[in-house]
Amino acid sequence: MRTSQTLFPSGLRMAAAGGAVWLVLLTGVFFGSLRLSILDLLFLLGPLVVVPLALNLLPTTRVTYLSYVNGSITRFLLLPGAGLTTASFFLREGRVAGALVCVWLIVALALALDGLERLITTRLRSFPGFCFAIGEGYALVGSLWLLASRLGMQPVGFHEPIVLLTAVHFHYAGLMAAVLAGLVTSDERAIRSSLALRISLLCAVLGPGLLGLAFLSGPKLKLAAVGLMVIGEFGIAFATFRTGLVRASEIGGRMLLVGSVCVIFGDGASGYLGNWRIPAPCLRQSRADGAVPRGSEFCWFWFVLTRGLEPVAA
């Protein structure tokens, strides 16, 4: 059942404005007037564009006092939180830069509480609701790593750019992939959710978290987690492609077809750049470069999804 109640109804307007700001930052970096790295720009696309779009499609939970508070925090603090987070990247790492991202952390905490309430109310009976809840939890994890990055901390012995790249990971492959998985399984007109599809989408939802934990263990678990994410992303692409075929007569359906192809292309480009083209001595830079096509892939996919998939009650 479709609902007009989403967590952040003005997300499209904020994303449009945020996209304009991001293009200004990109132009400044290109001409050398701004000192931001590629990884900085990649992360900032999250608060300015990606997260507002995600919350614009994320259905609200049933009306309770907690959901009202969480929704109010999100609606009123998302814009200033994104602005202050952007400003923090123009300061040196330290307490001041860390303080500026605290508003964003508050928004992420509200999202995590909303996800917890979603899990409690659905009692794991709704697969889309489960996907949405996990995605909201990932937003908090990513925000904590952002805070560590701006404070100049080295959690669990990790250094930059891994700290900020982890924040990117949980905002893109975490929040976004989980919401996408929930949306494609919500569209019952186009998809009969088979067991294989649900398993692949479950990989997309759980893969980012497992990959984060894998960094605390050995390379074998990392490889397994990456494999789950790849399976999940292709599952999302396949489900979206099927939805696009059903709606091929509509502009939204055609954009879904384009988006699903972008996911496949993005995965291929990411693997090519990350595994073959970048030499081993450039490992630090390759981690950032390998993230660029993946982030771009998800962003483009998300843009086309806003025209093809609609929020539904979880």
What are the domain boundaries of the chain? Answer: 11-308
Where is average pLDDT lowest: 79-88, 199-208, 292-301?
292-301
204/173 Cα distance (integer angstroms): 8
Check residue 235 and give its pLDDT.
Answer: 83
Q: Taking 50 as the threshold, does the pLDDT of residue 19 lie above it?
A: yes
Check residue 187 and give its pLDDT.
Answer: 63
Check residue 2 and give its pLDDT.
Answer: 42
Check residue 290 and give its pLDDT.
Answer: 43
Kindly report, residue by residue over 162-182, the tens digit of the pLDDT. 899 999 989 988 898 888 888
268/13 Cα distance (integer angstroms): 32
* Percent of the chain scoring above 70 in pLDDT: 80
Kindly report, residue by residue over 67-124, the tens digit of the pLDDT. 888 888 999 999 999 999 999 999 999 999 999 999 999 999 999 999 999 888 887 8
Q: Kindly state the average pLDDT of the residues 221-225.
A: 80
Nearest Cα residue to 37 out of 154, 141, 160, 142: 160
Q: Give, for 94, the enclosing helix (H) or strand (E).
A: none
Check residue 296 and give its pLDDT.
Answer: 44
* Percent of the chain scoring above 90 in pLDDT: 33
115/201 Cα distance (integer angstroms): 18
274/108 Cα distance (integer angstroms): 30
Q: Map residue 187 onto helix, strand or coil.
A: coil
Check residue 128 and give its pLDDT.
Answer: 87
Q: Map residue 312 onto helix, strand or coil.
A: strand
User: Average pLDDT, whole number, for the chain?
Assistant: 80
